Amino acid sequence: MPRPKLIRTKDFPYHVTVRTNNQEFFPIHLDRVWKTFTLEIEKAKKKYNVDIISFVMMSNHIHLILQTPELNIDVFMAYILGQSSKRLNTLATRSNHIFGKRYHWSIIKNEFYFSNVYRYVYQNPVSSGLCKQVQDYPYSTLYYEYHRNPLPFEMKSPEISSDFYIPRSFEARLQWLNETFSKEKKELIEHALKKSVFGLPYGTKIDHFTNENQPKGVRF
């Protein structure tokens, strides 16, 4: 299947994910992998003026939600993946490919969709059985926000128009983030994230919404 043509946008966030080669675990301890990624994201963020909304690192893949005011997702991702690969290979004293296929992106065009993707990303470690609550997973930007630990880079808070989408208070947001999706809902979101523009089937019911009453044209 041919790769979709890159869509550049400054108005909407992207969900981005990339897996390791052959879905192998990262070659060194995850503490060092996390430090490598966060330092390279810091450099790339300064270099390319990209806003990071969330970042979760799993044992063989990563999830990012980000926004590109300068329409440059390609150079940003090329930088962090290239630099991280070099650094991880050096630390592991090897020269193999770290990542397999090219990163995958999906544009999120309204707040209803964004709220589901945002919760899905932070719930990844819980659904994988790595922790019981989203704030307990150490390789997640949410963990640092919860423990008030500094990250190397500044985060951008989601710009949500109503608590109906994502609760504004941190305590309420944690409770909401820990409300797990059903298996069916999780599969629908995963399928939608494979599209260039995130979208759920007409009439799909997730949380309080159907496609009929989603807000249209919400800008971030």
Per-residue pLDDT of the chain (220 residues; tens, 9 = 90+): 566 799 999 999 999 999 999 999 999 999 999 999 999 999 999 999 999 999 999 999 999 999 999 999 999 999 999 999 999 999 999 888 899 888 999 999 999 899 999 999 999 999 999 999 999 999 999 999 999 999 999 999 987 777 788 998 999 999 999 999 999 999 999 999 999 999 887 666 554 443 334 444 333 3
pLDDT of residue 214: 44
**Closest to 50 (Cα-Cα) out of 154, 120, 193:** 154
CATH superfamily of 14-213: Transposase IS200-like (3.30.70.1290)
The sign of the CA dihedral 126, 131, 137, 139 is: negative
pLDDT of residue 168: 87
Reduced DSSP (H G I as helix, E B as strand, rest coil) percent helix, strand, coil of the chain, to 5:
40, 15, 45
